[in-house]
């Protein structure tokens, strides 16, 4: 099976599991629950990139349950911690990005270097392996390299890329992409955009324009997907909030989860962004993407030997 999402999540979390989160399990092997234990837990969660605010929220919930349920043994408290973590992530559960029928349009945003182009290629391949007929649109016309890169990935995954010259109007490329989709009977258009934060006004205007064009051309379902780089830790959260202000986000992909020892950013995103996390990037090859599964994520993160 190409997309063994469970195996991918497990192996991509190896680094995270072997550092801060692995040490969390050790805390609960102590003989009793005391203040030192709470302090150590707090420290590890913060070091693991869960963030101060989300860590406090998690620990408040855990303390409340420990009191209410009169928990005095560390292993029982550990089980409750997992419970609370799952509950926190439940808010980020992804119920699918694509429409049940008709043309789906996914607009992908994200700053340079986060893994946007690679993620587009991975997703395009994932969706085409599920039977979708996918067209890629190179609407990041700001950088010539972005167009070239998407074409290279398009070749690798064997999917058509609709593009114009560098500097062309992104709206015009999107228009052509949608026309091509109709002409070729494709059911999914994935748009690469010039999602740049330093041109927030332009970004917003560009996204609005693209949305207008999509709405006019194919009044179907359009989702805006933000790609974040897990290795940037709390910066990923700040970036996500800025994007959320500029454009309405429908979902997030957390790329490079394999490259960080601090996978806790996923909890911070789930808690503070309130946008579904649909996929995680688990490596550099085309197969390295997995659908995000909150329960599985918690289990993988807190299992001590990765089994």
Instruction: Tell me how far, at minimum, the Cβ of 40 lies from ligand GDP, in Å.
Output: 30
**Rounded-to-integer distance, Cα 11 and Cα 170, Å:** 38
| Residues 112-151 close enough to bind ligand GDP by CB under 6 A | 112-119
CB-nearer residue toward ligand GDP: 71 or 139:
139
CB-nearer residue toward ligand GDP: 119 or 217:
119
Binding residues for ligand GDP, rule CB under 6 A, total 18
CB-nearer residue toward ligand GDP: 192 or 271:
192
CA distances, 27 to each of 21, 72, 85, 212 (Å): 10, 14, 16, 53
The region of 46-54, 56-64, 235-243, 277-285 touching ligand GDP under the rule CB under 6 A is 277-285
Instruction: Tell me how far, at minimum, the Cβ of 90 lies from ligand GDP, in Å.
Output: 24
Q: Does residue 10 bind ligand GDP (CB under 6 A)?
A: no
- Which residue, among 210, 209, 179, 208, has the nearest Cα to 192 in the 3D structure? 210
Instruction: Tell me how far, at minimum, the Cβ of 50 lies from ligand GDP, in Å.
Output: 20
CB 195 within 8 A of CB 246: no
Instruction: Tell me how far, at minimum, the Cβ of 307 lies from ligand GDP, in Å.
Output: 23
The contact mask relative to ligand GDP for 175-214 (x = CB under 6 A, - = no) is ----------------------------------------
- Which residue, among 200, 277, 207, 273, has the nearest Cα to 240 in the 3D structure? 273
The contact mask relative to ligand GDP for 228-267 (x = CB under 6 A, - = no) is ---------------------------xx-xx--------
Instruction: Tell me how far, at minimum, the Cβ of 172 lies from ligand GDP, in Å.
Output: 22
Which residue is nearest to ligand GDP, using beta carbons? 281
Instruction: Tell me how far, at minimum, the Cβ of 288 lies from ligand GDP, in Å.
Output: 6
The region of 41-49, 93-101, 109-117, 205-213 touching ligand GDP under the rule CB under 6 A is 109-117
| Residues 281-300 close enough to bind ligand GDP by CB under 6 A | 281-284, 288
The region of 42-50, 97-105, 110-118, 206-214 touching ligand GDP under the rule CB under 6 A is 110-118
CB 301 within 8 A of CB 86: no
- Beta-ladder partners of 289: 281
**Rounded-to-integer distance, Cα 257 and Cα 288, Å:** 10
Could you list the residues that contact ligand GDP (CB under 6 A)? 110, 112-119, 255-256, 258-259, 281-284, 288
């Amino acid at each position: 099976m190409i997309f063994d999402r469970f195996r991918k999540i497990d192996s991509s979390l190896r680094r995270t599991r072997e550092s801060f989160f692995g040490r969390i399990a050790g805390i609960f092997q102590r003989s009793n629950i005391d203040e030192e234990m709470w302090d150590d837990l707090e420290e590890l969660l913060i070091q693991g990139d869960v963030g101060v605010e989300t860590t406090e929220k998690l620990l408040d919930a855990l303390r409340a349950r420990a009191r209410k349920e009169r928990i005095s043994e560390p292993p029982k408290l550990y089980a409750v911690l997992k419970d609370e973590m799952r509950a926190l992530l439940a808010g980020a559960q992804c119920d699918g990005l694509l429409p049940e029928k008709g043309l789906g349009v996914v607009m992908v945003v994200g700053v340079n270097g986060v893994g946007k182009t690679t993620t587009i290629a991975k997703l395009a391949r994932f969706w085409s392996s599920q039977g979708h007929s996918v067209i890629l649109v190179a609407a990041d016309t700001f950088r010539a390299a972005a167009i070239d890169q998407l074409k290279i990935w398009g070749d690798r995954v064997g999917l058509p890329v609709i593009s114009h010259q560098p500097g062309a109007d992104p709206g015009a490329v999107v228009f052509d992409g949608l026309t091509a989709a109709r002409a070729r009977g494709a059911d999914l258009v994935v748009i690469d955009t010039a999602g740049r934060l330093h041109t927030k006004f332009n970004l917003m205007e560009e996204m609005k324009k693209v949305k207008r064009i999509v709405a006019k051309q194919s009044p179907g379902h359009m989702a805006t997907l933000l790609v974040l780089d897990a290795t940037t830790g709390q910066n990923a959260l700040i970036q996500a909030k800025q994007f959320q202000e500029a454009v309405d986000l429908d979902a997030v992909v957390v790329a490079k989860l394999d490259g960080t020892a601090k996978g806790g950013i996923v909890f911070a995103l789930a808690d503070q962004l309130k946008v579904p996390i649909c996929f995680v990037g688990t490596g550099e090859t085309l197969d390295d993407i997995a659908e995000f599964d909150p329960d599985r994520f918690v289990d993988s993160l807190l299992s001590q030997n990765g089994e």
